[in-house]
Amino acid sequence: MKKTLVLGGVKSGKSRLAEQLADLSELDVVYIATATANDDEMQQRISEHQQRRPDHWQTIEAPIHLAAILQQTCQQDRCVLVDCLTLWLTNLLMAEDKEQLEREIDALIAIIPELSGHLILVSNETNMGIMPMGELSRQYCDQIGVLHQRIAAIFDRVIFTVAGLPHVLKGKL
């Protein structure tokens, strides 16, 4: 069982790296997409990701209930790739039920040790610049920073991607 967290900035190559790692697993791959297409630009980004994925990969959309989907999907003979945690967190922050955020994050952290097979999570590292001015942006940065720390602590491997180059922070490439 291998659990990998792939971090990086926007267009850093993190999704491509995660896709390569999933392919190298030589297991059946299930791709869990968390994005929602709220505008044309986001629809274009989603389309680029869809076109890059092999046709034989199964795709499941999970904009909110990620832990439940992982519990149903992860199996010993599969590689599950989630792209990405930052969009999932954004969906939760924008949801009307404000308590859902904490419930879903806690559910994700609780289920991870129980999952079998390979699991690859992709997420944007957004906390390397200046502190945002808006309250929602600061809340997002706080939440994603803590989420990354919690996941990194329980994962086998953490990779930070810059300019398409992987930098292993924990484990081996």
Q: What is the pLDDT of residues 98-121, one digit of tens each?
A: 899 999 999 999 999 999 999 999
**CATH for 67:** 3.40.50.300
Question: Whole-model pTM?
Answer: 0.93
Task: State the DSSP code for 113.
Answer: G
**Rounded-to-10 torsion of CA 102, 9, 6, 153:** -50
User: Which residue range forms the structural domain that includes residue 75?
Assistant: 3-170
Residue 1: band (very low, low, confident or very high) from pLDDT cuts 50, 70, 90 = low
d(CA 99, CA 42): 26
- pLDDT at position 162 is 96
Q: Which residues are catalytic?
A: 49
According to DSSP H, which parts of 25-172 are helical?
A: 40-52, 66-73, 85-94, 100-111, 135-154
Amino acid, single-letter form, for residue 7: L
Q: Is the pLDDT of residue 130 over 90?
A: no
Number of structural domains, the chain? 1
- Maximum separation of any 2 CA atoms in the chain, in Å: 45
| Type of residue at 53 | R
